Amino acid sequence: MKAVLVIGLLLMLTGFYGLMTRRNMIKMVLSVAITEVGLQMVMITAGFIRGGTAPILTEDITELASFVDPVPQALVLTAIVIGVAVNALMLAFIIRMYGKRGSLDVRDYTDSKW
């Protein structure tokens, strides 16, 4: 499970790198999406218990220690849905901006830069 944590953190670093270096707005949205995925993997590992299985009960279950923590999983479910909503909204903004000025480069949109 440590591998999942490492992969998640590496994905977050990749996303941060993309956010700071890319100027194409679609690539920036992709960077945000990559960061989100990495963060979700890190959150999942936060509830991991060694030897645990998915928190789904069956008829003949007695040993509670054999389950992982369900709370982070519920939180990640929320995070995924909200991530999708935010990404879609960002893409809609980009479509509108491209329709106005025909450029995807964020440096061409300096109107409201302080």
Partner 1 sequence: MIKRALIFLVLAFFAWQFLLMVTGWEGLSGLGEIARHYMEKGREELGAANIVTAIVVTYRGLDTLGEVSVLFLAAAGIGFLLGAGRLSRKQDGGNAGGLENEKTRRKASEILETGSDIVVPAIAVFGVYIFVNGHLSPGGGFQGGAVIASAIVLLFLSHPFYSLNHGVLKVTESLSGTVYVGLGLLGLILAGGFLDARFLPVGEFGRILSAGAIPVIYSLIGLKVGAELVGILEQMRRPS
Per-residue x/- mask for partner 1, residues 19 to 48, rule CB under 8 A? -xx-----------------------xxxx
Q: Which residues pair with 67 in a beta bridge?
A: 53
User: Who contacts 40 (Cβ-Cβ below 8 Å, separation ≥6)?
Assistant: 8, 76, 79, 80, 83
Q: Which residues bind partner 1 (CB under 8 A)?
A: 1-2, 5-6, 9, 12-13, 16-17, 20-21, 45-50, 54-59, 64-65, 67, 69-71, 73-74, 77-78, 80-82, 84-86, 88-89, 91-93, 95-96, 99
